[in-house]
Chain A
């Protein structure tokens, strides 16, 4: 029997019952699989995040049981609450796919596409998104936006040129720290992430801005250029830490810990943030209790060669090669 308090929503023909107030995106994640829209800016643990990148746009073909009219515009699934009886098209709507393709193209026009030298390559959400929804050629033939690289603190490098202004790090810094030291300066396509007069970000948890960054704009200075991520072996590990849970992932090359990150779920989101001590100052395997290899869903562009069937149709260049 259906739970009285649950409401029913259908996404791409798959129904799920969720609590009132759930967003379309979270409802889709409860269904799982390919009905889940991609999200570049939404981060479930960060209050206020979402709505900005527009990659999670979906079409509401039926508003609710009470008011079945479709919504005229595409809506951001991360910040639109479901209604009882709502019907949503994600991958089944050409309009959605077309709009998403447009968003990807626009996100990429000012992105440097320097994946070969970017530390994020291999675990970059923009790379994955472009692989799934983008086209192989850009129509943009103007000079791309460029910024100087900036050190914001002892451990973090800001490479604004790669930034897609998802605001995740801003919310992280605001919600982790008491002072507002990290924000967005200027506006429009000149907007940039910045700290107050290039002030260092000093907070025991500030390293988490690196984990929430979907691209390679914020990178770990203790790991930069040390190794490609796909040459390192992720291991679940924990240590006794006074500041955080100590539950981390060690990225190992042999017995050497090259990098420590928090644990990300299948949507790339960290649920338990870790402190700077664990992340930057504990790169000695003897400090950790190893739990075992971490299972990573290999869906990224760097795993493309391992696909046997699921190459999306529009990557025709790859197919021909």
Chain B
């Protein structure tokens, strides 16, 4: 069983209220930071911890913080990205819903480290009830002197506000988030300049995921070295995983990075195996945008190594035979699931969520969706599969923001690993409407790579 650094107290009755949270050791990190640490000390601890961004890209947080420009007389901001919209990901919601004060505590400490006196939590519009929970918690924090002027007599002034979006996946992209926070249409900005130089209102800004900011609390409490002891190599600490799909126990799990994927899927402490005794067909380990893995690449890598829940192990083999840890949206498919249908569903999502600013994504996502719709509904042609491959390759890497890549990768991976199933949909149009293809064979994979 993994240690719990974030969700340790999540089950305690009333932990979402200030009194219970404080009684269970809450706001200790703020006391420690404000009394005995300088902003640079905290940055040093975060660097030592090896913490990497938990939103999906996995960029080292300490490095991101150290890029923040610090011109004289210009306010800086920390923005918490709570626009969790990746299909299959629901860890931030759980954390904010259960222990909202942990996020607030993390925001105070992180803002102190960055020298920000006004920070924002940008929350997804669909999480309206979570917004209310957070607002209540922020009010409690103000009432008890953890927010506002001169926090706990330390001389540090800090204000925190939570702002809801209007329900757009694209606003999880940091520059689109900043645009939306400023009150504009949520279109991503051109980079450079990066937010660390010109972000919110053209001021230096750090945008971090909810889980990243929450993880700063145990890092400050116990020290970066202690945090770095958990995990393997450059994947340190614990990670929240949102497990869903055909498993016995879907939910949010806090795991030590380095846990084996096999244990995570089949272990009784975690997902508890595939539901109804079925066989594993495929797995999307990091949210809908990362490449899907066929069953023979889930627990073992192509090299035959055990696949582990780390940034490195999940991406071993690149996009040919690997995937990504991403945001930790772990979706499991059993033998009865249709990959074509699943890919179509993802494509539908990305088409709906494209902002429409740059042409490859605006036009390409809709085209992929239509071609996949035909394939899934028995109206596909053999050349449609190559066409799909071609469209995704025209989108990937050619767009302003990563939404184009996120739309292209799942299509590419599905065709790469499940081409046989796509072809079956074309060859057996009526049969494919009645039943599912079943498991893809490893033999096909061997002949492809040979």
From A73, A79, A99, A191, contact of B362 by CB (8 A): A191
B-chain residues with CB within 8 Å of residue A290 when the two chains form the complex: none
Known: A184-B185, A189-B356, A190-B356. A51 touches B398 (CB 8 A): no
| Contact yes or no, A189 B387, CB < 8 A | no
Which residues of chain B from 349 to 384 have any CB-CB distance to chain A below 8 Å in the complex?
351-360, 362-367, 370
C-alpha gap A50/B190 in the complex (Å): 9
Q: Which of A54, A107, A165, A186 has the most CB of B within 10 A?
A: A54
| Contact yes or no, A110 B363, CB < 8 A | yes
C-alpha gap A54/B399 in the complex (Å): 7
Q: For the complex, is A52 an interface residue (Cβ under 8 Å from B)?
A: yes
Q: For the complex, is B385 an interface residue (Cβ under 8 Å from A)?
A: no
| Contact yes or no, A187 B168, CB < 8 A | yes
Within the complex, what minimum Cβ distance (angstroms) separates B401 from chain A? Answer: 11
B-chain residues with CB within 8 Å of residue A74 when the two chains form the complex: 397-398
Within the complex, what minimum Cβ distance (angstroms) separates A79 from chain B? Answer: 5
Q: For the complex, is B394 an interface residue (Cβ under 8 Å from A)?
A: yes
Known: A54-B358, A191-B362. A102 touches B353 (CB 8 A): no
From B168, B363, B370, B398, contact of A107 by CB (8 A): B363
Instruction: Using CB atoms, name the residue of chain A closest to B354.
Output: A188
B-chain residues with CB within 8 Å of residue A103 when the two chains form the complex: 359-360, 394, 398
**A-B CB contacts (within 8 Å), total count:** 87
Known: A51-B400, A106-B363. A188 touches B394 (CB 8 A): no
Known: A51-B190, A57-B398, A102-B398. A189 touches B354 (CB 8 A): yes
The digit string for A189-204, where 1 denotes a CB below 8 A from any CB of B, is: 1110000000000000
| Contact yes or no, B394 A105, CB < 8 A | yes
Which residues of chain A from 43 to 68 have any CB-CB distance to chain B below 8 Å in the complex?
50-55, 57
C-alpha gap A54/B352 in the complex (Å): 21
Q: For the complex, is A183 an interface residue (Cβ under 8 Å from B)?
A: yes
Instruction: Using CB atoms, name the residue of chain B closest to A170.
Output: B185
B-chain residues with CB within 8 Å of residue A79 when the two chains form the complex: 190
Within the complex, what minimum Cβ distance (angstroms) separates A92 from chain B? Answer: 19
Instruction: Using CB atoms, name the residue of chain A closest to B361.
Output: A188
| Contact yes or no, B190 A106, CB < 8 A | no
Within the complex, what minimum Cβ distance (angstroms) separates B348 from chain A? Answer: 11
| Contact yes or no, A73 B397, CB < 8 A | yes
C-alpha gap A73/B398 in the complex (Å): 8
C-alpha gap A283/B173 in the complex (Å): 49
Known: A51-B190, A51-B400, A191-B362. A109 touches B367 (CB 8 A): yes
Instruction: Using CB atoms, name the residue of chain A closest to B186.
Output: A187
- The size class of the interface chain B forms with chain A is 20 to 34
Known: A99-B394, A187-B356. A52 touches B400 (CB 8 A): yes
Within the complex, what minimum Cβ distance (angstroms) separates A168 from chain B? Answer: 13
| Contact yes or no, A140 B367, CB < 8 A | yes
Known: A51-B190, A74-B398, A99-B398. A188 touches B365 (CB 8 A): yes
C-alpha gap A105/B390 in the complex (Å): 11
| Contact yes or no, A52 B358, CB < 8 A | yes
Within the complex, what minimum Cβ distance (angstroms) separates B254 from chain A? Answer: 34
C-alpha gap A191/B365 in the complex (Å): 14
C-alpha gap A75/B154 in the complex (Å): 47
B-chain residues with CB within 8 Å of residue A226 when the two chains form the complex: none
Q: Is the interface of B mostly helix, strand, loop or mixed?
A: helix
C-alpha gap A140/B383 in the complex (Å): 12
B-chain residues with CB within 8 Å of residue A53 when the two chains form the complex: 358-359
A-chain residues with CB within 8 Å of residue B400 when the two chains form the complex: 51-52
| Contact yes or no, A165 B362, CB < 8 A | yes
Which residues of chain B from 396 to 445 have any CB-CB distance to chain A below 8 Å in the complex?
397-400
C-alpha gap A106/B393 in the complex (Å): 12
A-chain residues with CB within 8 Å of residue B366 when the two chains form the complex: 110, 188-189
A-chain residues with CB within 8 Å of residue B352 when the two chains form the complex: 188
| Contact yes or no, B363 A139, CB < 8 A | no
Q: For the complex, is A25 an interface residue (Cβ under 8 Å from B)?
A: no
Which residues of chain B from 317 to 368 have any CB-CB distance to chain A below 8 Å in the complex?
351-360, 362-367
| Contact yes or no, A188 B398, CB < 8 A | no
Within the complex, what minimum Cβ distance (angstroms) separates A141 from chain B? Answer: 9
Q: For the complex, is A231 an interface residue (Cβ under 8 Å from B)?
A: no
| Contact yes or no, A188 B353, CB < 8 A | yes
Q: For the complex, is A142 an interface residue (Cβ under 8 Å from B)?
A: yes
B-chain residues with CB within 8 Å of residue A50 when the two chains form the complex: 190
C-alpha gap A51/B355 in the complex (Å): 14
C-alpha gap A99/B365 in the complex (Å): 16
Q: For the complex, is A9 an interface residue (Cβ under 8 Å from B)?
A: no
Within the complex, what minimum Cβ distance (angstroms) separates B213 from chain A? Answer: 28
Within the complex, what minimum Cβ distance (angstroms) separates B97 from chain A? Answer: 28
Q: For the complex, is A249 an interface residue (Cβ under 8 Å from B)?
A: no
| Contact yes or no, A106 B394, CB < 8 A | yes
A-chain residues with CB within 8 Å of residue B358 when the two chains form the complex: 51-54
Instruction: Using CB atoms, name the residue of chain B closest to A99.
Output: B398
B-chain residues with CB within 8 Å of residue A82 when the two chains form the complex: none
A-chain residues with CB within 8 Å of residue B387 when the two chains form the complex: 139
Q: For the complex, is A250 an interface residue (Cβ under 8 Å from B)?
A: no
Q: For the complex, is A121 an interface residue (Cβ under 8 Å from B)?
A: no
Instruction: Using CB atoms, name the residue of chain A closest to B356.
Output: A191
C-alpha gap A99/B360 in the complex (Å): 10
| Contact yes or no, B356 A142, CB < 8 A | no
Known: A52-B400, A99-B394. A109 touches B363 (CB 8 A): yes
From B351, B359, B370, contact of A106 by CB (8 A): B359
A-chain residues with CB within 8 Å of residue B364 when the two chains form the complex: 106
| Contact yes or no, A188 B359, CB < 8 A | no
The digit string for A89-107, where 1 denotes a CB below 8 A from any CB of B, is: 0000000000100110111
Within the complex, what minimum Cβ distance (angstroms) separates A217 from chain B? Answer: 14
9 residue pairs, one from A and one from B, having the closest CB atoms: A102-B394, A191-B356, A106-B363, A188-B354, A189-B366, A51-B190, A188-B356, A73-B397, A52-B358
- Sample 10 A-B pairs with CB under 8 A, ordered by A number: A52-B358, A54-B359, A55-B359, A57-B398, A103-B360, A107-B359, A107-B363, A109-B363, A165-B359, A188-B351
- List 17 additional contacts besides A107-B363, A188-B352; criterion CB under 8 Å: A73-B398, A74-B398, A76-B190, A79-B190, A99-B394, A102-B398, A106-B394, A109-B363, A109-B367, A139-B387, A142-B367, A187-B353, A188-B351, A188-B355, A188-B365, A191-B355, A191-B362
Interface of A with B (CB < 8 Å)? 50-55, 57, 73-74, 76, 79, 99, 102-103, 105-107, 109-110, 139-140, 142, 164-165, 167, 183-184, 186-191
